[in-house]
């Protein structure tokens, strides 16, 4: 790609990269690495004609058989995430966050005190585990 001075790379991360995830520490840390790595790579490769886009979706579901997770406003469909990824990639955006709730998380989490972010992430994570185990 650099020899041809053109190309596009899509790195799939997650909204999990925006905050620590007690109970899913390795997953959250891995996604944080992918987000940081892709942003650095985007800066390195841009002058060489290669764009790097980081996709960071939130909760995503493939809707089959009428299954609808709750609360529905917090979930994106796999089709919607794929569409946002392709549109962002073709537009050359370095950071793609599908869904308004997740755009807000991406914007607010880095500006909030870390202890507040940890408390919120812990509460949300606990609730998700409780629902999963029912």
Distance CA(105)–CA(54), nearest Å, equals: 16
Sketch the domain layout of the chain as residue ranges. Answer: 7-129
Q: Which residue from 118, 108, 101, 90 is spatially nearest to 7, judged by alpha carbons? A: 90
pLDDT digits 0-9 by tens, 97-109 = 999 888 988 888 8
Output the pTM of the full model. 0.82
The residue-averaged pLDDT of 116-132 equals 72
Residues 6+ apart with CB under 8 A from 126: 23
pLDDT digits 0-9 by tens, 40-54 = 999 999 999 999 999
Distance CA(86)–CA(113), nearest Å, equals: 33
Is domain 7-129 in CATH 3.40.50.720, yes or no?
yes
For the four alpha carbons of 27, 29, 35 and 41, in that order, the dihedral sign comes to negative
pLDDT digits 0-9 by tens, 6-33 = 999 999 999 989 888 888 889 989 999 9
pLDDT digits 0-9 by tens, 81-90 = 999 999 999 9
Higher pLDDT, 2 or 69: 2
Which pLDDT belongs to residue 66? 62
């Amino acid at each position: 790609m650099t020899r041809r001075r053109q190309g596009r790379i899509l790195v799939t991360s997650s909204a999990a990269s925006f905050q620590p995830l007690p109970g899913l520490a390795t997953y959250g840390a891995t996604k944080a690495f992918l987000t940081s790595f892709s942003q650095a790579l985007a800066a390195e490769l841009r002058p060489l004609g290669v764009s790097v886009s980081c996709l960071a979706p939130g909760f995503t579901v493939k809707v089959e058989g009428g299954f609808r997770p709750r609360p529905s406003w917090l979930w994106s469909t796999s089709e919607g995430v794929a569409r946002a990824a392709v549109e962002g990639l073709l537009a050359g955006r370095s950071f793609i966050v599908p869904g308004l709730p997740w755009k807000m998380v991406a914007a607010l989490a880095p500006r909030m005190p870390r202890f507040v972010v940890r408390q919120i992430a812990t509460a949300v994570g606990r609730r998700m585990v409780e629902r999963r185990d029912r």
